[in-house]
Amino acid sequence: MAGIYIHIPFCKQACYYCNFHFSTVLSYKEKLVQAIAKELFLRKDFLAHQSIQSIYLGGGTPSILNEAELNLIFETLSKHFDLSEVKEITLEANPDDLHADYLKFLRSTPVNRLSIGIQSFDDTDLHFMNRAHSAIEAKNCVKLAQDAGFNQISIDLIYGIPNMSLARWEDNLAMAFNLGIQHLSSYCLTIEPKTVFGNREAKNTFTPISEEDSEQQFLTLINRGIEAGFEQYEISNFAKDKAYALHNTQYWKGAHYLGVGPGAHSFRNNERSWNIANNQQYMQSLDKGIPPLETEVLSINNQYNEWVMTGLRTIWGLDLEEGEKKFGSNRMEYLHKQWQQNFQLKHLKVENGHIILQAEARFLADGIASKAFMV
């Protein structure tokens, strides 16, 4: 299995927490989409002889593209890739873009899944994070998408926002689960360098939420999800009726993927490559017919570390037989040794040949994984 990721590096405005590559200058958007189409052509053989099962348009804000721009991307994909086995085509969207006419257009495209960046159903939170949409738009966009015929809808919510009470977080979750969505991705607000929040924290003008409050909101997320019939199949992802995000699941299981667009990453065998995260240099390089990317060969230890990190976060856990075949018995012995205390504390268990992280320890996932890393 393999996937294609297309990065659309444009947003109407900058969210204060975001450290993804994007620009709010939209005057050259058409030209950059043409460059993406050219990169798709130049790298059409990257996934040769592999079954492409998912396409994901992320960003940035892919829903900022107009009909001609989005059609060019899909026409290029259809022309140069075998899409006969594609099951999932996701487009990330902001609520303020999802008006009835645009949704009608999207239904005429191959897009069959929407990932909507709601983040909060409360205007206080949205203003604090400098989101472009309102609470009313957040509440209405899902119903508009459902009315347009989309039956695979994921939304994003953020917890751990300063001054967000547990009651307000519960209201957010109740609103989400009452909308009839199939998938929820929920992340704790993290403060990254070179973001507005990061700069404020450096100046001591931003006070993050306490770890205790963040953990309480995370546990509430899990419990309310269970009550609503959602399965936490990855630390930050919840699905109803096994409506797992196929594209992301392939990432976590080590599938190959082609990343196109400024700042996009690709992975194949033991190699990772990434495009330059500069829109102008990206376009200039493609004007010359040269994909602007760098490549690194992952060491066996780095491959092992990624296997540990991604696998532990999912309900499928780490397949010990697969691990021994890929990385050898010495690393599997090291893994058990480093996690001996976590097994004793019942953070981890072995089930059907897989090491599984227990629900009560999911808040500790990153720390547990890092204990087993090798340098």
Residues 126 and 11 grouped into a single domain: yes
Total tally of structural domains belonging to the chain: 2
pLDDT score recorded for residue 162: 94
Query: Closest Cα to residue 33, out of 261, 312, 294?
Result: 261
CATH number for the domain that contains residue 314: 1.10.10
How far is Cα of residue 139 from the mean position of the Cα atoms in its chain? 22
pLDDT score recorded for residue 360: 86
Tens digit of each residue's pLDDT (9 = 90 or more) over 62-72:
999 999 999 99
Residue 346 lies in a domain: yes
Domain boundary among 235, 251, 267: 251
Residues 229 and 84 grouped into a single domain: yes
pLDDT score recorded for residue 284: 98
What are the DSSP E strand ranges found in 122-201? 153-159, 183-188
pLDDT score recorded for residue 325: 97
pLDDT score recorded for residue 195: 96
The range of the structural domain enclosing residue 194 comes to 2-251
Residue 149 lies in a domain: yes
Below-50 pLDDT ranges, the chain: none
Residues 308 and 247 grouped into a single domain: no
pLDDT score recorded for residue 98: 98
Residue 150 lies in a domain: yes
Query: Closest Cα to residue 276, out of 264, 288, 287?
Result: 264
CATH number for the domain that contains residue 169: 3.80.30.20
Q: Record the tokens describing residue 275, joined without a space.
A: 């495009």
Tens digit of each residue's pLDDT (9 = 90 or more) over 240-284:
999 999 999 999 999 999 999 999 999 999 999 999 999 999 999
373: left (phi over 0), alpha (psi -120 to 50) or beta: beta
How far is Cα of residue 111 from the mean position of the Cα atoms in its chain? 17
Residue 198 lies in a domain: yes
Domain boundary among 210, 232, 251: 251
